[in-house]
Amino acid sequence: MNIYVGNLSYSVTEDDLRALFTEFGDVSSAKLIIDRDTGRSKGFGFVEMASNDGGKKAIDALHGREVSGRAMTVNEARPREDRPRHGGPGGGGRGPGGGGRGGPNRNRDRY
């Protein structure tokens, strides 16, 4: 079972996260999400539990528990949505007629 863990203190490490969840079963992985610009934790991560039963027990026991001064959010992770990448075709870049401030061309549409 894949579990989302949010509202984490920036001081929490992956080892801390793993230790919190091992009480409820085998932890396959514990991963903090790191900001690639700052190299600092974004304050959330994911824990993969070997069994659904252990995962559900962990969610029930840990959701709302205070760790390092912050009440954690713990729930079953939702599947990641496919999102278009920036800069590629159809990826929110500036295509024909795109970009700018939007709205009508004030000079062209004046008359």
Q: What is the pLDDT of residues 11-51, one digit of tens each?
A: 999 999 999 999 999 999 999 999 999 999 999 999 999 99
Average pLDDT over residues 73-90: 79
Does the pLDDT value for residue 92 go beyond 70? no
H-run or E-run covering 56: helix 52-62
For the chain, what are the domain ranges? 2-76
Under the phi-then-psi rule, with left for phi > 0, alpha for psi from -120 to 50, and beta for the rest, what region is 43? left
The pLDDT tens digits of the residues spanning 96-110 come to 555 555 555 555 555
Answer whether CATH 3.30.70.330 is correct for domain 2-76.
yes
According to the model, what pLDDT value does residue 79 have?
86
